[in-house]
Amino acid sequence: MDRIFTVSLFRVGRCRIGGEFRKGFLVMALWCGLFQAQAQDPTFYETFDSTPMGEVPEGWRTYSLNGDRGNNWVRSVYGFFGPKVMTSGVEYALPGKIDEDWLVTPQITPQENDFLIFDSGQEFVWDDWGSTFEIWISTKTDNRADFTELLKSYTEPEFPGYLYSERLLLDLAAYKDTPIYIAFVHKNPVTGESTDPDNPEPPVENWYLDNVWVRPVQPMDYSAGEIFGSFDNVIRVVQSRTTVIISVVVRTAGDNGSADISALSFTTAGSSPKVKIKEASLYTTYGDSFLSTNEDTGEIYADLFGSVTDPGDAFTIEGFQNLGRGDNYFWLMYTLEADDAVLTYPYPEVDATFESVVVNNVEHATTLSTTAATHPVVPDAPVNDNYADAIDIAPATGTVRLGSYNYKATVEAGIGVERLAYCATPIYQSAMDGCNSVWWHFKAPSAGLITADLSTSSFNTLLLIQDEKGDQLACSKDIDESALVLQSRISNFPVAEGQELYIRVTGEGGFPEDPNAASGVVNLDFTFEVPLGVEGPFSYELSELYPNPGNGKVNVDLVLHRPANVVLEVTNLMGQTVQVQDEGFLNAGKYEHVTLDVTALPAGPYFVRMRGSSNTAHKLIVVNDADAR
């Protein structure tokens, strides 16, 4: 299968000088501060990000000539260069005319060494529909008639396409200390007339404009280097070379020239000596913030920047790449070697820290001094993947920590014990159970209470307690979904002496065998205790159901002889479970009134009992036909 890593972008808005930075960073930070000070104090700067949709910035003007009622310059959300851009959109010229859309700046007074700098692009990169893109200057007013000086004109073949982050630089030395207005003029000769029946609406060109500066040109150079993708997924040795350890971003800023990267350095101080890193490889996806790999074939769909064999605790990967302006993405992977005998829980780990980068032959410390990621190294398959291989839990005093992992765990639908978790959130009529389950087995030495806690596990879990027949006695989805505590816990579940239970841990997913189902290391904290007053078999009293026959919802009263998690089970006459209803943990010694919703059941007789008890008593309920409800 193909796995795609997608990483959200984030940007460092300013440089900081402080104790968190490592060797050599002070010089880099001071340089970065000077660089950004120049960028932060331009003669003029407009990003259009605060401009309302469909409008122009305050103080700007637009003119539209010789066109039909179409688009003039407006702010849009195309956002290739930034979150919001100005767009001169599709608009046909009147017959025999050339449509003109004008966007005029407020008055600007260029200073020494100032250039007009802007990001721009056209929509149709490889076609020429006759548009021109012109920049005009007025030294008088912002009236259209006063724009008499053409600064630059581009045809479609000369103008950059929106796929390319090309920045345009126009010298304003002739207007130093002179108040001027600048007009961006899009001219389109295409009319709405067509003689081609297959093309009744002739295409016209769009112009995208963003980040308009008037300031001195700044040379391209290093701006920041940091970890932007920190992963903690498990690594199987056999597929380690396609598993991302960390991803890093190297950021550049400036207008022209080049920024060439030649080396990136890392350390692995947290890696276990039980696992050998045979090779460290660094891949580049240039300006793309995602990487695709095929772990089955070992393919990595990216260019190799460089690699190093037997890297040790500190290593440098050398290569060469001309960095693009903005964010450039690199992906570190290890080829690992380890004896299966050492890959037991708690699993040995490998890690990586991004230390420094060399750009234009200058070494820069990275911006953030954090260990990026620590990865558990696991055997090729979980030892307790299958129900039959459930790990036995020995009775012990207090809480014991047990563990495994469920990445690539398989579904055992055929034997009937791995049914969808009843507490999983339904979506599209299917429970969100990935069924990548691992198993534990416990036989109670006496009556007592058990607690199974996954709160320190590394992924979004589902937790079930099942009996030997596969019936789900208890199920937990999230400890606290509102607080994003997506692990699971079942507390104080009552067991009888000699009762055998299976604890099943699975990941949330869209469907059984979902390749993207949640997975990771399972940390199971298990407690068995015998509190005062817990003795004898678990039993209960169940009243007759009423009204009976039922009209969709029926009531039952029950009393517990000791505290228990109450799960009511509805079966048909063949003994097949057709519905379960979890009432949660209820106290002993008092009557509890429970409403059972049987609206979804077909008409007919059913039995209701409480799961998890040696008491086989059950109550008959007759469900009316839907038309009678």
Q: What is the per-residue burial (b if ≥16 Cβ within 10 Å, else e) of 389-401?
A: ebbebeeeeeeee
pLDDT of residue 18: 28
Q: Considering just the CA atoms, what is the radius of gyration of the chain in Å?
A: 34
List of residues 6+ apart from 115 with CB closer than 8 A: 169, 170, 171, 172, 213, 214, 215, 216, 217, 255
CATH fold for the domain made of 387-529: Jelly Rolls (2.60.120)
Using pLDDT thresholds of 50, 70 and 90, give the confidence band for residue 110: very high
| Lowest mean per-residue pLDDT among 169-178, 362-371, 455-464 | 362-371
CA separation for the pair 198, 203 (Å, rounded): 12
Q: Quickly list H helices, 323-398.
A: none
For 82-94, write each residue's pLDDT tens digit.
Answer: 778 898 877 788 8
Residue 487: name the closest of 477, 472, 497, 502 by CA. Answer: 477
Average pLDDT on 564-576 reads 77
User: Whose structure tokens read 């992977």?
Assistant: 333
Model confidence at 611: pLDDT above 70: yes
- Provide the 3-class DSSP secondary structure of residue 149: strand
CATH superfamily of 540-628: Immunoglobulins (2.60.40.10)
CATH 2.60.120.380 placement within the chain: 387-529
Strand stretches in 290-366, DSSP E: 290-294, 299-300, 303-309, 314-323, 326-337, 349-359, 362-365
CATH 2.60.120.200 placement within the chain: 44-216
pLDDT of residue 385: 95
Check: CATH 1.10.3720.10 for 44-216? Answer: no
pLDDT of residue 204: 78
pLDDT of residue 19: 28
Model confidence at 30: pLDDT above 60: no
CATH 2.60.40.1290 placement within the chain: 226-248+257-378
Q: What is the per-residue burial (b if ≥16 Cβ within 10 Å, else e) of 486-510?
A: bbbbbebbbbbbebebbbbbbbbbb
Specify the CATH number for 226-248+257-378; select among 3.30.870.10, 3.30.413.10, 2.60.40.1290, 2.30.30.40.
Answer: 2.60.40.1290
CATH 2.60.40.10 placement within the chain: 540-628
pLDDT of residue 38: 44
Using pLDDT thresholds of 50, 70 and 90, give the confidence band for residue 103: very high
pLDDT of residue 173: 97
For 38-83, write each residue's pLDDT tens digit.
Answer: 445 899 999 999 988 888 999 999 999 988 766 688 888 765 667 7
